[in-house]
Chains A and B, each alone.
Chain A
Amino acid sequence: MRDASPAKIYALHIGVIALLFALNFVLPDYHQGLFARIMALAVFAMGYNLLFGYVGMLSLGHAMFFSAGLYGAGLTVYHLGWGVPEAFVAGVACGAVLALVIGLLALRTSGVAFMIVTMMFAQVFYLLVLYFAAWTGGDQGLVIQQASRVITIGGASLDLTNPTVRYMSALTLFSVVLIATLAIARSRFGRVLVAIRENEERTKMLGYDTVANKLAAVVISGAICAASGAAYALLFGYVGSSFASVQYSILPLLWVLLGGAATTLGPLIGTLFMYYVTDIASSFTSAYLLIVGIALILLVLFAPKGILGSIRQRWLGWLP
């Protein structure tokens, strides 16, 4: 990565946030709603990217962290009648604690074994969701009623089902996580993570506790993914086991690969790209997954580092 002034880098990111803010006022209704969903899920991809892109650890179980947030927030609202802020915190906490436990166990492995172990844990989580169907709603899931999705602060209330409030809430979460991941990527901790990805043995020899750093990365990644899940439950009002299925472990991997692993903005671009290819292709043919597949193959052939990764490699070497 060629050096660039921090001002330039932060200006780019703030510019992206400003653009997304402005889009709220110009996007047609449907696309405004879709962008809110994409931003919430891009947070999931950013959490995944932290571990996969920066540390180089390929997890096939991140659906469990997303769902920990989804259920942590959704079930506390549904069963305990908690408010939105407390439920969101509960969701993030569930993801962080789960990530800590899974991290302690799974970090005893690496490479292919890490993939398999994370996938197995995610499968256990998925089956537990089905097993405790009396509380989770199992495969049918649960609806979080509109009345429960209102934030009341003092006399004012924010209705998360209002399209603009929902868009701005998703944008706020997205912005916080984007700036946080940028700060992590540029921090000493972030450099250590990249060093682990490039050569773990050498990083150890240099005196870094690689296991502790990797564990921290797993926990932060899990917490970010859980924040995405919690936001998804509260913004869109549905929690269901399909979000804990293996499909939702693969999706963030695809989004990150498409957008560009180890790029801060890649997860957003990847999520946006996949969503729109699916949405547009499905209007023309029922074989839209074929088109998505072809698009993926083309990208792998012509831009193996993902969209932003390739742009960084060719033109903008300073991109974080």
Chain B
Amino acid sequence: MADKNGFFDLSKTTLSRRTALKGLAAGAGLALAPGFVRYSQAQSSAPIKIGFQLHRTGIGAAYGRWYEKTSAAAVKAINDAGGINGRKVELVIEDDGTDPARGAEVVGKFAKQHKTDIVFGTLFSHVVIGSAPAAGENKIPYFVVSEGHHVASTKLNRYVFQPGITDVKSQIQSMAPWIAANAGKKVTQIFPDFAFGYDHRDYLPPALKAQGADVIAQIAIPPTESSFTKYFPQIPAETEVIYHVMVGPAVLTFVKELGEFYGSQRPQLFGFIDSLEAVDVNSPGLEFLDGSHFWEGSPRYAQPDDTAAQKAYRAAVGIDDNGAALGDPKDVSTAAHMFGCWETLYVVKKAMEDAGYKGPEDRAKLVEATEALTEFAEGPEHPQGPKTFNGKIHQCFGIQNISKVEGGKLKVVHKTKIEDGLYEPEGDYTTQAL
């Protein structure tokens, strides 16, 4: 820019600021433009668009990455076999930032801007609960893979489904008979002092009581805590089993400090693999877990009795026998949960076929067709195992795995029955208007 004498003067920035602002405004205008283009309705031969609400950033990013891989693999398999109702399936991805407010916006974006047929995805309970009203208001079916009890609690709405993964209440209830019979009758629970921990706090004691065992102490640890040693003296001396469900990066410190506290003489340990999803069980500091047991939705490590369907699923998703990415042994998957994406997409396929789904105008039919489903047989579409589905509470029920840490691997030692996880329905979504 030239000054009044016609010389370039870099110290005078007035013009450059203006130019910069103009540039910003122009850039913003340009970038805004695509968002305002009205999208045409999908034609019958156009792909079925599935809005994938994904934890790409935020605390759920590790889960999100594997949810994305698994879903992409399932969509490829579905498309290779002819798609749904003769139409290809396309995933439209939006990041929810693992944030409930953004999650709700993303659901609105799928419904109104991308005009997807359904919304699918996400894990973290608060994002699902935060997004559910947007799904109900937009009358767009919302298939989640969250494992929270929120869907089955019937506190959400008729458009929210969880057909591909069991809920935490069912999982906990299924664990109780095995714990009481094999680990011990006096149980101390250690859990994070927020909703995920409260599910375990509330559902385990009655389930154990029914098996003749007792929770003798419950130790809630604040989510901000980074050292745990001071809580361990609260564990009663007569404890036979420590039931732990710590999650997040602090879990390594938790296990290490528990090991230092007990040394070689420890009670039985039972935990939920949620603590160690995407974490190598051979990580330094986790040696103390050797010989302990974990719940797994789907086994991380290949098992000798894996079905052909399980083997095909693992190959399609791209995980090796240790549950890590093929070619990158350090990239450990979230195997215990991500199978839910695969299975949910196949439930969507089945429901769309049953409903004769053609486009968004058939969303209500799709809801009813999903509610009419009752069973999913074990096989390529449901490699984790057989399931039943309760259309009134929009929740599936299935088998659970209990695995022992042995030689740095998780070996399945017990599979529960579907009946172990059944409970009385708490409501009925089908009474709500569509």
Contact = CB atoms under 8 A, between A and B. Distances in A.
Interface of A: 28-31, 33-34, 37, 127, 130, 133, 137-146, 161, 236-238, 240-243, 276-277, 279-280, 282-283, 286, 288-289, 295, 298, 302-303, 310
A138 B130 contact: no
Interface string B94-113: 11000111001100110111
Contacts of B156: 143
B129 A143 contact: yes
Nearest to A32: B112
Q: What are the 6 A-B residue pairs with the smallest beta carbon separation, nearest first?
A: A237-B133, A30-B112, A30-B113, A29-B112, A140-B195, A286-B56
Given A146-B136, A240-B126, A286 B95 contact: yes
B198 to A, nearest CB: 6
Contacts of B105: 33-34, 37, 279
B133 A140 contact: no
A242 B194 contact: no
Classify the interface of chain B: helix, strand, loop or mixed.
Answer: helix
Contacts of B233: none
Given A138-B198, A280-B31, A286-B56, A34 B108 contact: yes
Classify the interface of chain A: helix, strand, loop or mixed.
Answer: helix
B157 interface: yes
A282 B130 contact: no
A303 to B, nearest CB: 7
B35 A31 contact: yes
A33 B105 CA distance: 8
Contacts of A277: 28
B20 A238 contact: no
A236 B195 contact: no
B361 interface: no
A242 B99 contact: yes
A80 B101 CA distance: 24
Contacts of A30: 35, 108-109, 111-113
B32 interface: yes
A141 B130 contact: yes
A238 B194 contact: no
A272 to B, nearest CB: 10
Contact of A161 (B137, B193, B194): B137
Contacts of B111: 30
Nearest to A248: B101
A242 B126 contact: yes
A137 B130 CA distance: 12
Contact of B100 (A144, A240, A295): A240
Contacts of A141: 100, 126, 129-130
Contacts of B113: 28-30
A286 B31 CA distance: 16
Nearest to B99: A242
Interface residues of B, number: 45
A130 B126 contact: no
Nearest to B14: A314
B423 to A, nearest CB: 19
Contacts of A34: 105, 108
A236 B56 contact: no
Nearest to B37: A28
A75 to B, nearest CB: 14
B318 to A, nearest CB: 20
Given A28-B38, A31-B35, A288 B112 contact: no
Contacts of B17: 302-303
Nearest to B149: A140
B39 to A, nearest CB: 9
B195 A288 contact: no
A312 to B, nearest CB: 14
Nearest to B113: A30
A303 B21 contact: yes
Contacts of A298: 20, 24
A276 B130 contact: no
B112 A33 contact: yes
B271 interface: no
Given A141-B100, A141-B126, A141-B129, A130 B194 contact: yes
B123 interface: no
A288 B130 CA distance: 21
A140 B150 contact: yes
Contacts of A279: 35, 105, 109
Contacts of A142: 129, 155
B132 to A, nearest CB: 6
Given A140-B129, A143-B156, 5 more contacts: A143-B157, A237-B137, A276-B28, A282-B94, A282-B95
A37 B101 CA distance: 10
Contacts of A283: 34-35, 94
A190 to B, nearest CB: 29
A130 B223 contact: yes
Given A133-B195, A141-B129, A238-B130, A288 B95 contact: yes
A277 B132 CA distance: 25
B155 A28 contact: no
A310 B32 CA distance: 23
Contacts of A280: 31-32, 35
Contacts of A28: 35-36, 38, 112-113
A283 B222 CA distance: 36
B100 A238 contact: yes
A141 B125 CA distance: 9
A133 B198 contact: yes
B345 to A, nearest CB: 22
B292 interface: no
Interface string B275-313: 000000000000000000000000000000000000000
Given A145-B157, A276-B28, A302-B17, A242 B129 contact: no
Nearest to B33: A280
Nearest to A134: B198
Nearest to A162: B137
9 contacts: A31-B35, A137-B195, A140-B129, A141-B126, A142-B155, A238-B130, A240-B100, A240-B129, A242-B99
B340 interface: no
